Amino acid sequence: MLKLTLVTPTRKFTTDLPVEEVVVPGARGELDILPGHAPLVTTLKTGVLKYREAGQTVYKTAAISWGYLEVYNDQVSVLAETAELPGEIDLERAKAALEIAQKKLMAFSDSTYDLDKFSRKLERAYTRVSIADTQNQ
C-alpha cells in the first residue's frame, strides 16, 4: 500500500492517505505509481492526477498545474502549483477560461513567452473542464 500526500503552497489536500495506485502527468509522460515503486523525483506538468484509495475500485481525480513528485518507501508526495477537485471547479467559468485561452493562443504574437504562457493557460483550462465535466455526468 502507498501513502499519498498532495499539497499546494496554500492548501493540504491529503496527508498520508492510504492508496493502492497513483497516476500523475509526468513532464515526459504519464506515470503509474504502484506499491514497491523505485525511488523517484520528477517534475509534473498540468494535467489530471488520479488515485485509487485502499479497497476502492473507482479513481478519484484532481486537476493539477505544474509541480513535483517524490516517491520513496511507498510514500508518494505531490507538491503542485495548484490543485482542484472536480466538485470545486465552476464548470461555466472553466469553459469561459478555455475559450479565452483558445482565442489568445490563436492570436498570439511572435513572442515565444506569449506562446508558452497561453499554451499553459489552455492546458490548465482544458484539464479543469475535463474533470469538472466528468463530475457532472
Strand partners of residue 62: 49
What are 7-36's pLDDT values in tens digits? Answer: 999 999 999 999 999 999 998 999 999 999
The mean of the pLDDT values for the chain is 87
> Is there a contact between 107 and 58 (Cβ–Cβ < 8 Å)?
no
What are 115-126's pLDDT values in tens digits? Answer: 677 777 777 777
Report CA 103 to chain centroid distance, whole Å: 23
Which CATH architecture group holds 2-84?
A: Sandwich (2.60)
pLDDT of res. 99:
84
Least confident of 26-30, 95-99, 105-109: 105-109
Which CATH architecture group holds 89-135?
A: Up-down Bundle (1.20)
Amino acid identity of residue 90, one-letter, is D
In terms of pLDDT, which residue wins out, 79 or 65?
Answer: 79
Per-domain boundaries in the chain? 2-84, 89-135
HSE of 14, CA atoms in CB hemisphere, 13 A: 25
